[in-house]
Amino acid sequence: MENDLTIEKLRIVEQLQQISTNQAVMGQKIDELAGHYKMFQETLTGTSENPGIIIRVDRLEQKSEGHRWMVRLIWTALIPLALSHLWRVFVTGK
């Protein structure tokens, strides 16, 4: 009977050691994931020295909007110029 209790105690001790080992491994994995999360967060939002992807995309969108306005302005200026040239050529014959 006492032998059975000793064997059972040994099994419980082994299981506790396995649980402790698993917890240590899980802790390492969580630390690794936390490092990756921090890296991804810095990549998205940036740091004090380096702007993140979100800021860069915002800047690109702002530049794109500025270019769009510039193209519209150029077309707005070119259309009357082309029409006046055509008028001069076909109507006045100069």
Q: How far apart are CA 82 and CA 42, in angstroms?
A: 51
**Shared-domain flag, residues 35 and 55:** no
Specify whether 41 is located in the same domain as 54: no
Tokens of residue 90, six digits: 């076909």
Q: How is residue 54 written in tokens?
A: 């979100």
**Same-domain check for residues 27 and 62:** no
CA–CA distance, 72 with 61 (Å, rounded to integer): 17
Q: Is the predicted pLDDT of residue 42 greater than 90, yes or no?
A: yes
CB 45 within 8 A of CB 52: yes
Give how far the C-alpha of residue 91 lies from the chain's centroid of Cα atoms, to the nearest Å. 59
Structural domain for 40, as ranges: 1-45
Claim to verify: residue 59 and residue 91 sit in the same structural domain: yes
pLDDT digits (tens, 9 = 90+) for 44-59: 999 888 899 999 999 9
The two three-digit tokens of residue 85, written as one number: 């040239």
pLDDT score for 12:
94
With a cut of 80, say whether residue 2 has pLDDT above it. Answer: no
